[in-house]
């Protein structure tokens, strides 16, 4: 619980048996976590078994993609506040309280990995990835500047907190299955008049495996283009 509100940690997972156990244990050990929901997104390994053994509640989502998995996890979550994180160990539970504190002032609180002093050695946050996120964040910020004046530096950070009320407002409008789901969530929150705040968090090297969206310059460019298209569509078409 956090100040009387139940906290659900949601972890989308695809073939993460190497890391998921440590992630579940880390977040369950955090005093504010009431449950950890791991979404088995068509895993072909022992991710679901390892997660359940570590104490998580496992739900299945057959529709592939990061966005689809997160939506399934949030719909299954029982908490008043949902904490979204990764299955690879790049985010740690102690930073969760920083996001939760600001959830009393904003419907969506997003971490940022662009503070160099908080990007740990060997973390996957090189020059192009970091500044690509900054550029997309400033574009999104500009699109809603006159109405909301957000201050954003990282559209791709998947460590974030949203209230149940915010989720109920935006859930039916979320359409992206892949990494564009992250900026789409920010766009939808701003479109619905929710406050969106950003908080620096620590970014750690993965415990195992490799990123499916940023392991090469080509992948980074493809992800950035997809995010740009989603932000533009939301701003111009409102959907």
Q: Which domains does the chain have, with CATH numbers?
A: 7-237 (3.90.550.10)
Task: State pTM to two decimals.
Answer: 0.92
Written as tens digits, the pLDDT of the chain (239 aa) is 999 999 999 999 999 999 999 999 999 999 999 999 999 999 999 999 999 999 999 999 999 999 999 999 999 999 999 999 999 999 999 999 999 999 999 999 999 998 888 888 667 777 778 888 899 999 999 999 988 899 999 999 999 999 999 999 999 999 998 889 999 999 999 999 999 999 999 999 988 766 555 556 687 788 889 999 999 999 998 77
Assign 59 to helix, strand or coil.
strand
In angstroms, rounded to a whole number, what is the distance separating the alpha carbons of residues 176 and 184? 7
**What tokens were used for 172?**
């039916």
CB 150 within 8 A of CB 231: no
User: Does residue 96 contact residue 32 with C-beta atoms inside 8 Å?
Assistant: yes
DSSP-assigned states of every residue in 107-129: SEEEEE---GGGB-TT-S--HHH
Q: In what order do the strands lie in the sheet with 35-40?
A: 57-60, 35-40, 7-13, 81-84, 160-163, 108-112, 196-200
Those residues with Cβ within 8 angstroms of residue 86's Cβ, 6 or more apart along the chain or in another chain: 11, 12, 23, 158, 159
The closest of 229, 200, 227 to 132, measured between CA atoms, is 227
Report the distance separating Cα 203 and Cα 114, nearest Å: 9
DSSP 213: S
């Amino acid at each position: 619980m956090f100040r009387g509100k139940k906290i659900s940690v949601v972890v989308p997972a695809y073939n993460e048996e190497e890391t998921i156990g440590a992630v579940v244990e880390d977040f369950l050990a955090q005093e504010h976590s009431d449950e950890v929901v791991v979404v088995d997104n068509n895993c072909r390994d022992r991710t679901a078994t390892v997660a359940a053994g570590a104490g998580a509640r496992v739900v299945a989502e057959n529709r592939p993609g990061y966005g689809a998995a997160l939506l399934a996890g949030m719909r299954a979550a029982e908490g008043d506040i949902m904490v979204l994180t990764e299955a690879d160990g790049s985010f740690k539970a102690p930073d969760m309280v920083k996001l939760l504190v600001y959830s009393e002032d904003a419907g969506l609180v997003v971490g940022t990995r662009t503070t160099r002093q908080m990007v740990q050695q060997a973390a996957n946050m090189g020059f192009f990835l970091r500044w690509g996120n900054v550029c997309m964040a400033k574009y999104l910020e500009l699109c809603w500047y006159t109405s909301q004046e957000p201050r954003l530096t990282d559209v791709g950070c998947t460590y974030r907190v949203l209230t149940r009320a915010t989720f109920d407002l935006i859930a039916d409008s979320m359409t992206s299955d892949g990494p564009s789901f992250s900026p789409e969530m920010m766009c939808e929150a701003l479109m619905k008049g929710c406050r969106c705040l950003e908080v620096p968090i620590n970014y750690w090297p993965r415990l195992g495996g490799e990123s499916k969206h940023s392991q090469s310059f080509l992948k980074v460019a493809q992800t950035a283009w997809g995010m740009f298209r989603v932000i533009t569509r939301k701003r111009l078409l409102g959907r």
